[in-house]
Chain A
Amino acid sequence: MSDANTAAVTGVPGAVVKTEEEIGGGLTPKQAKKLRMEQMSREERAYLRRLSVVEHVWPFFRFVILFGLGFVIMYPLIYMISCTFRERSDMTDPTVMWIPRHYTLKILKETITAMDFWHTLRTTLVLNIGCSMVQVVSCAITGYGFARFKFKGKGLLFGIVIMMILVPTQVISLPLYSQFRFFGIGPLKVNLIDTMWTMYLPALTANGIRAGLMIFIFRQFFRGLPKELEDAAYIDGCGPFMTFVRVMIPNAASSFLTVFLFSVVWYWNDYYVSSTFFTNTKTVALMLQNLDTELKLRLFNDATVEISPREQIVWKEAGCLISIAPILILYVFLQKYFTEGIARSGITGI
């Protein structure tokens, strides 16, 4: 159905040429069209009729489908916004569905206090952006190694990368915990749990969150670059490393940005890895995960206070809203790099 529009515009080219030769000028467009239709075979007419039906009906259906499904996606967001700016009593008011009866910023302020948001945000940003930058660079280097060099055992090593993509974090998180708990060789052991090193060290060595996928993307991308680039650099006296820095990286700039953005999103949304290694360091995702208890402790100074689950929703939704807000803003401004980037970055070149 995708070709409906363009096909109607082009029509059947053979027919157009024939009529112009035979009739020439002197006829109104309507008459000319009628004549043209008569000269067509039955199948041609049926084809054109079908096209025009599809062309008129399909946009309507397309709109309905996209609008309906778009609504399913936007619904939680709209609900979040609606909940954030209402009073908690509105939750038990059966007449309130979308539009709050009492507008207030109280819930938003309370949630920010409960999540210790500004402090948490700073911690998360430092962790996120730092890890993402380091990981993008390390994954690019690894991906380049896989894409451009021939050496023994490459197949086996790349198999390990595929394993990294497939193995869920949950499988390795337990031993990884003990690895960090007693980190080091022989008697020199340090406890790295609850330090940022638990995130930085894997990122630094291309083993952080979804690193396998990132290596894969970079490998696909660097494989697509022409070999002549490399040869030219070699003739100009660049060693392989300088070739990578001077020639390949400038070419990969947009690819770097896309992978970096995805990495930021993945680190931002991660709560599994960080909840395994962090006990006192709080990230936004972790705070949101524990919002129930935090609310009771910080807002009411009482861990046993009972709030009806329905009324709790306002704080939870507000928490959701403020924790996705930074990513959402990033997405609005850099949407192009998210959606077009992945198409170009070579993930599809499997």
Chain B
Amino acid sequence: MAKQAKKMSYEKRKAMYGYGFLALWMVGTLIFFLIPLFKSLWYSFNEVSIGTGKMVTQFVGLDKYSYVLTVDENYTDYLKDMLLETLWKTPLVLIFSLFIAVILNQKFHGRTLARAIFFLPVIIATGPVYKIINGDMSSTGNTGAAQFSTMFSTDLVGQLLEFLGIYGLSDNMSTMISTVADNIFGIVWASGIQILIFLAALQNIPPSAKEAAQMEGATAWEYFWKITFPYVSPFILANLIFTVIDSFTSPTNTVMGRILNMKEDWKFGEASAMAWIYFVIVLAAIGLITAIVNKFIYYEVE
């Protein structure tokens, strides 16, 4: 009985230590995260102005939301563009990074160098550097991708198709290809971390699975779908979330740019409403995708 009591107290003491370890973070989160989060939500329902010693708010209900959605001439367009862009770019980033990760997982000369290069965007792609790179390059027509797309805009594809006896298709075809080629730059530069995460996942595939596949004479294609894909599937979701939250802070994000402008005009109410609309839509989308995808993901039983 006494032993039992002592054990309980140890457990309890450990729980107290748990709170102790979290104490610093809890205080910080309250001040620097939770309060600002709720304030921001509160601001979006208010007319905000700076008074002496505090922010002055005046409750206006859903006025700011209706203003942002109906009156503001830029916001809805930007929002639509951004959401569309996220919708098609995210899958492309995921497919691309998985593809590159599979390649980089193979053994060949110069693999370390290749990995170092593909990871480079993580180091420099964020912040104003990317903005300048992106802006300058497109203003001078000097993007790496532009060089690729010149290849296509001289209509190599069209020529090839005509050579094969297919006419009329080529216009649509080359527009489509050059659109993708133009965006190669953005996609490559947005998938540094994702490649790394997939790479780590690939390295966790047990050698026994690989040997078994070889014994059975699996083709590379079968190997990918039967072995590789199930093993990396949990990380697809993680990468999806990572890609989306990374797009929030991308300097090319027009919605965030608009919010920033609003804030500089001291229109805190409108800015908060804009931020919340965007955030809630994206969060709902992530939630929905997570719920759907989770059913198809293979989790290794541990």
CB distance from B78 to the nearest CB of A (A): 13
Chain A residues with Cβ below 8 Å from B119 are 335, 338-339
Q: How many B residues face the partner with a CB closer than 8 A?
A: 105
Docked pose: A199 CA to B24 CA in angstroms = 16
Chain A residues with Cβ below 8 Å from B35 are 175, 179
Chain A residues with Cβ below 8 Å from B204 are 348
Asked whether A43 lies within 8 Å of B217 as measured between CB atoms, the reply is: yes
Q: Pick the interface stretch among A23-31, A73-81, A124-132, A293-301.
A: A73-81
Per-residue CB contact flags for chain B residues 122-151 toward chain A (1 = under 8 Å, else 0) read 111011110111001101101111001000
Choose among A150, A152, A157 the residue that contacts B14 (Cβ–Cβ < 8 A). A150
Chain A residues with Cβ below 8 Å from B53 are 182, 189
Chain B residues with Cβ below 8 Å from A10 are 214
Choose among B33, B116, B127, B137 the residue that contacts A164 (Cβ–Cβ < 8 A). B33
Task: Knowing A1-B220, A142-B24, A285-B128, say if A151 contacts B18 (CB, 8 Å).
Answer: yes
CB distance from A165 to the nearest CB of B (A): 7
Chain A residues with Cβ below 8 Å from B193 are 342
B43 adjacent to chain A (CB < 8 Å) = yes
Asked whether A271 lies within 8 Å of B27 as measured between CB atoms, the reply is: no
Asked whether B34 lies within 8 Å of A7 as measured between CB atoms, the reply is: no
Most A C-beta atoms less than 10 A away, residue of B50, B132, B223: B132
A303 adjacent to chain B (CB < 8 Å) = no
A103 adjacent to chain B (CB < 8 Å) = no
Asked whether A347 lies within 8 Å of B197 as measured between CB atoms, the reply is: yes
Docked pose: A335 CA to B188 CA in angstroms = 19
Docked pose: A46 CA to B203 CA in angstroms = 29
CB distance from A216 to the nearest CB of B (A): 10
Per-residue CB contact flags for chain A residues 57-77 toward chain B (1 = under 8 Å, else 0) read 001001001101111111111
Chain B residues with Cβ below 8 Å from A272 are 249
Per-residue CB contact flags for chain A residues 172-210 toward chain B (1 = under 8 Å, else 0) read 111110110010000001000000000001101111000
Chain A residues with Cβ below 8 Å from B137 are 75-76, 79
Instruction: List the A residue with the shortest CB-CB distance to B199.
Output: A343
Docked pose: A62 CA to B55 CA in angstroms = 59
Per-residue CB contact flags for chain B residues 95-110 toward chain A (1 = under 8 Å, else 0) read 0000010110111100
Chain A residues with Cβ below 8 Å from B237 are 350
Most A C-beta atoms less than 10 A away, residue of B189, B196, B213: B196
Chain B residues with Cβ below 8 Å from A69 are 100, 118, 184, 188
- Decide if the interface of chain B is mainly helix, strand, loop or mixed: helix
A114 adjacent to chain B (CB < 8 Å) = no
Q: How many A residues face the partner with a CB closer than 8 A?
A: 102
Task: Knowing A69-B118, A343-B203, A348-B235, say if A169 contacts B249 (CB, 8 Å).
Answer: yes
Chain A residues with Cβ below 8 Å from B249 are 168-169, 272
CB distance from B197 to the nearest CB of A (A): 6
Asked whether A350 lies within 8 Å of B100 as measured between CB atoms, the reply is: no
B167 adjacent to chain A (CB < 8 Å) = no
Chain A residues with Cβ below 8 Å from B131 are 289
A251 adjacent to chain B (CB < 8 Å) = no
CB distance from A85 to the nearest CB of B (A): 16
CB distance from A189 to the nearest CB of B (A): 6
Q: Which of B46-67 contact A (CB under 8 A)?
A: 50, 53-55
Per-residue CB contact flags for chain B residues 214-252 toward chain A (1 = under 8 Å, else 0) read 100101100110001000001101100100010011000
Asked whether B115 lies within 8 Å of A339 as measured between CB atoms, the reply is: yes
A252 adjacent to chain B (CB < 8 Å) = no
Instruction: List the A residue with the shortest CB-CB distance to B235.
Output: A348
Docked pose: A309 CA to B136 CA in angstroms = 9
Asked whether B184 lies within 8 Å of A205 as measured between CB atoms, the reply is: no
Task: Knowing A171-B279, A182-B54, A320-B132, say if A350 contacts B235 (CB, 8 Å).
Answer: yes
Instruction: List the B residue with the shortest CB-CB distance to A79.
Output: B142
Asked whether A76 lies within 8 Å of B144 as measured between CB atoms, the reply is: yes
**Further 8 A-B residue pairs, CB within 8 A, beyond A5-B107, A72-B148, A350-B235:** A7-B214, A62-B106, A69-B184, A73-B117, A75-B144, A175-B40, A240-B17, A335-B116
Name 22 interchain pairs, CB-CB below 8 A, sorted by A: A2-B105, A5-B107, A62-B108, A65-B103, A138-B28, A145-B19, A145-B20, A149-B14, A167-B33, A171-B275, A174-B40, A175-B35, A176-B32, A205-B25, A206-B28, A266-B126, A310-B140, A328-B124, A339-B119, A343-B196, A343-B200, A350-B237
* Interface residues, chain A, with chain B CB atoms under 8 Å away: 1-7, 10, 43-44, 47, 50, 54, 59, 62, 65-66, 68-77, 79-80, 138, 141-142, 144-146, 148-152, 154, 157, 160, 163-176, 178-179, 182, 189, 201-202, 204-207, 215, 239-241, 244, 265-266, 269-272, 285, 288-289, 309-310, 313, 316-317, 319-320, 323-324, 327-328, 331, 335, 338-339, 342-344, 347-348, 350
Q: When A and B form their complex, which 5 residue pairs have the shortest distance between CB atoms, in order from nearest?
A: A205-B28, A149-B18, A145-B21, A343-B200, A1-B220
